Structure 1
Amino acid sequence: MPTISKLAKQTYLISSANQPLDISDNWFEPAFWQNQNAITGQSVGRNTTYFFAHQQQNYVLRHYYRGGLIGKFANDGYFYTGLKRSRVYCEFALLEKMQQLGLPVPTPIAARLIRTLHLYSADIVMTQIPNASDVFHILQKQALDNQVWQTIGKTIAQFHQAGVFHADLNIHNIMLDNQGKVWIIDFDRGRFKTPDKSWQQNNLNRLLVSLKKEKNKQAQFYWQDDNWQALLTGYQII
């Protein structure tokens, strides 16, 4: 289980019990890494995720933002109902548990929760998956053969068999490294559930919707229906 300590009044640090790094409040501030010329890249979508280097290791810094209609009024404020019930703590603990199960996910390093009265904001730092790109960006440049799609399906099945529910399984959250290994990222609102075909099928349906959406939206997107059938074949191999 993650350990909890205080960085300052109403500011909490969540970290792994065996974390050797000296984590300070600065770790969660993009400007701190920018001032050290440590920013190595960023991913700009609805919000920005930063990549930075420190002591020959690459990391990802992500701030928690609200989506949907509520996000228009409370961009990054969440109702505080207890630290261990916060989204950041739950995701951190889930990542730790999935790693123990041998599932291909990023390593959680540390997280910060800042409480202000009845609200909180949060950030998380994870290791960056080496030499990997999300499948969405890959498909904008080239097609993937059906063997790769089978591997993607097989990997999703491994998570499902372990009872891992991904709240937003879409093509942006599946990564492929240069060794052909598939990784899954962004487990905000994810959790363990009793394996059941209903929610597992809903997970797959959500992924299919995202593929079709990008296919219709992008000028170039190298994905075809037979790729989906290959994914399903891989999913059923487990």
Structure 2
Amino acid sequence: MQTHIHQDANQWLIHAPELSVTKEWFEPSYWQTQDKILGQSRGRNVTWFVGEKDSPMVLRHYYRGGLIGKLVTDKYWFEGLEKTRPYREYELLVELEKRQLSACRVVAAQVTKSGLSYRADLLMKMVDGGKDLVALLTSAPMSDELWQEVGKTIALFHKHKVYHADLNAHNILINKDNKAWLIDFDRGEIKVQRGQWCQDNLDRLLRSFNKELNQLPQFYFTDDNWQTLMSAYKAELDA
């Protein structure tokens, strides 16, 4: 998959050469006028589901998190296109697709520079029938087979030395075929080798499960579930 970069003044569109992407693709109002808003997800920020019903896409704007996000919501320091977060995430997702790993398939990215900063958006294909682990575990327990699938999938990414910067229960989906997918690779990268970062990923995920368990009135997660996940993870690494 080759990458085409179109620059118009202080705006860049990044996409495959065969696509005729315009800047309007990154505006929810554009999809609204065509009656192609399929839905939205409201977490800390809004994520839009757009396009055709048989080929839905996810439109995500880049927002800052943490303490700085309370002061500067969506601006990032511009140090060149190749150092922007959408460019790096786009390139990473292209590489993950080449490796046939179950990460979202990227469609296009946009970077808009203003002064010394930039804002950005990413457009991806939606995982078919995907539901995140929080949504699933608030409604019913997951089978051991699904917990094993999650552990195996994380191990496959780690085998390929893929670092996920925010591996949590919201960023793991189960699709209609009961296969696990990882989403949101902002600040992710391919490392030189496996190391402590693999364990850090797992620790972050466990904290995420425990956080949901303590905050939600109903959340089906137990220590046995975690042990099932970890057993599958270790078995896949040793395979």
Taking structure 1 as the reference length, the TM-score comes to 0.96
Instruction: After TM superposition, give the deviation of residue 31 of structure 1 in Å.
Output: 1.1
Find the partner of 2:58 among 51, 56, 60.
Answer: 60
> What is the Cα-based RMSD across aligned positions, in Å?
1.2
Question: CA separation in 2, counterparts of 1:9 and 1:54?
Answer: 30
* 1:15 aligned residue: 15
Q: What runs of 5+ residues in structure 2 fail to find an aligned partner?
A: none
| 2:228 aligned counterpart, secondary structure | helix
Corresponding residue to 2:153 among 142, 152, 155: 155
Q: 1:224 maps to what in 2?
A: 222
The answer to which of 20-29 and 52-61 deviates more is: 52-61
Partner in structure 1 of residue 171 of structure 2: 173
> Which amino acid is the alignment partner of residue 100 of structure 1?
K
Counterpart of 2:102 in structure 1 is 104
**Structure 1 spans left out of the alignment, 5+ residues:** none
| SS in structure 1 of the partner of residue 100 of structure 2 | coil
Task: Provide runs of 4+ in structure 1 moved above 3 Å.
Answer: none
Q: Deviations over 1:188-236 (max 9, x none)?
A: 0000112333110000000000000000000110111100000001101
Alignment of 1:1-238 (within 5 A): 2-6=3-7, 8-17=8-17, 20-54=18-52, 56-238=54-236
Percent identical among aligned pairs is: 42
User: How many residues are matched?
Assistant: 235
TM-score in terms of structure 2 length: 0.95
Q: Describe the SS at the equivalent of 2:64.
A: coil
Q: Distance in 1 between matches of 2:21 and 2:157?
A: 30
Equivalents in 2 of 1:197, 1:96: separation in Å? 24
- Output the amino acid matched with 2:132: D
Shift of 1:117: 1.3
How far has the Cα of 1:9 moved from its partner?
1.8
Separation (CA, whole Å) in 1 of partners of 2:23 and 2:207: 39
Alpha-carbon distance in 1 for matches of 2:137, 2:185:
22
Aligned letter for 1:2? T
Q: How far apart in 2 are the matches of 1:62 and 1:77? A: 14
Counterparts of 2:164 and 2:151 in 1: how far apart (Å)? 14
